[in-house]
Structure 1
Amino acid sequence: MTTMTMVKALNSALDNAMERDDSIILMGEDVGVDGGVFRVTDGLLAKYGKERVLDTPLAELGIVGFGIGMSMAGLKAIPEIQFQDFIYTAMDQIINQMAKLRYRTNGDYTLPMVLRTPYAGGVHGGPYHSQAGEAYFAHTQGLTVVTPSNPYDAKGLLLSSIELNDPVIFLEPKRLYYATKGDVPDDYYTVDLRKANILKEGDDLTIITYGPTVPLVMDTVNKNNVNADVIDLRTINPFDVDAILNSVKKTSRAVIVTESPRLFGVSAEISATIAERAIDYLAAPILRVSSLDIPVPFALEDYYVPNEQKIMKAINKVLQYR
């Protein structure tokens, strides 16, 4: 057991996986010599060589396309897109090839591929380095969408994703790369992709969140003595419906906190699921705390994303509703 940042935990996961399975290939912009822009792949080129850790051209469409071809041919590609914002040039490959391969071949081909990318804010990178676009991928059937909130989950969820025989979009909250530390086993282990993590138990309301907003939510409820269930989804699609419904049926109130924009997002799907399947248990409207529905600003990022004040405003409104 070692105390690790999320970056180190992800690096450890890739190291463990590559040591066990020589079919795993890492690829992406600067993942080799430089170890990635955030150093997630640091040291892996020296350990596993240039045939397994590939520096690629600045061509996201090609990176994903090559990864698909490799994984179809018996390898297990783990491409990195340097920032999630750059992934959109590869959407044709992701949506029309990566997500559809099993279905269009009637199961003759599977795609054991994990597409990693740093996402969301935290570095004041503005509109091209700070987007939280998980809804695009969660809306695409055939993709599993995963995002960790702490170092232990980061390693275990990544290893579970690598074990899957189908494609995964693995979203790494860049604001948490070095902001959190935790005890992480040095050896290989997995975390169940199908199960949300109940971080805190309480009776007054349910707070549902994931990825970059999890530490903020926990800090907020602990600081303000909020008696709430706090659910970290871990996997956005498919999300753990049972965990959410069981909690809402107990507390009768729900607040959803995400960093993605509000309109047509993951929070809307969670809210709709609660309304459709547990409306008889609700004692108040379901409220959502999200980022603003504008491009991510440079100077005002801290106001753009959820914060303690916005979360407490929603919590108090739900608790005081009669």
Structure 2
Amino acid sequence: MIYTTEVPRLEEGVRSAVTLGKFDGLHRGHQKLIHRIQKKRSRNCRTVVFTFDVPPRSYMLKTPPKFLLTYEERRELSEERGIDILAECPFTEELMHMEPEDFVKEYLVERLHAAYLAVGPDFCFGHNRKGNPELLQKLGEQYGFQVEIVEKEKDGARDISSTYVREELEKGNMEKVNELLGYPYFTRGEIVHGRQLGRTIGVPTANLIPHEIKKLPPNGVYITKSFIDGKLFEGITNVGYKPTVRENFLGVETYLFCCNEDLYGQEAEVRFYKFLRPEVKFDSLEELKKQLNHDVEMARMFFEEENRQK
């Protein structure tokens, strides 16, 4: 896959099947759009996901965004889904004030040689969001590309969207989050040394500090699986500041079942499956240990049930 932070110019004779949008999370709705452009893929037709480095609203309000996927994660998931080109275009003042017709002519026609576009019914673009799918269809007739308006993927009566995923994530409803995404929500980071208090109570843990732009679920304890060096470990994970031991950074601390390996310095991917309880400050390490043993038992029961259903 080609990853670029500008809109590429395809060579003569090569056209593209393009889908456009924010693509934060690459949820089931996004996957539906990607599936549409993959149907058009051929030796002379590239698949292109056209997105932006920051959401337009965050740019205009000057608010630092928190993403469901970091830039690197979005690139990797896009490649796994067979995309030829991921164009992560910087959202600038010039782009914000570009008229819709100019956007289509310069980017989609002259650079990408678009043959086919797949967009959702609420897709808007250009200055003051004046561009919409109907305008794309009209311009497609003029410039020689087809536009398919793809109906939203549904969860019951509600459209699946990044906003919907965020709402459920903020509730800690990981089962619904994973259902909407079509894959387990995760965070990544290098395993670092903590205060190693877990070892003193018989619960050694792996600590990682997620990327600052990654949106995390609420502070608390979760049932998780961790992918490290090609191996998948079941476990429980605390997201938060660990109030009992007064940590002063937001971290992800995981107790890995059946793991005695030295993992420091390795990259870990922690996948969230179920919220167990909020983060709590205990009066003693002994109380903390008692609660952790209960958390471990709940997690083992969860995995046993999961294995029975396979």
The normalised TM-score by structure 1 is 0.29
State which structure, 1 or 2, has the greater radius of gyration over its C-alpha atoms.
2
Which structure's residues are more often helix, by fraction? 1
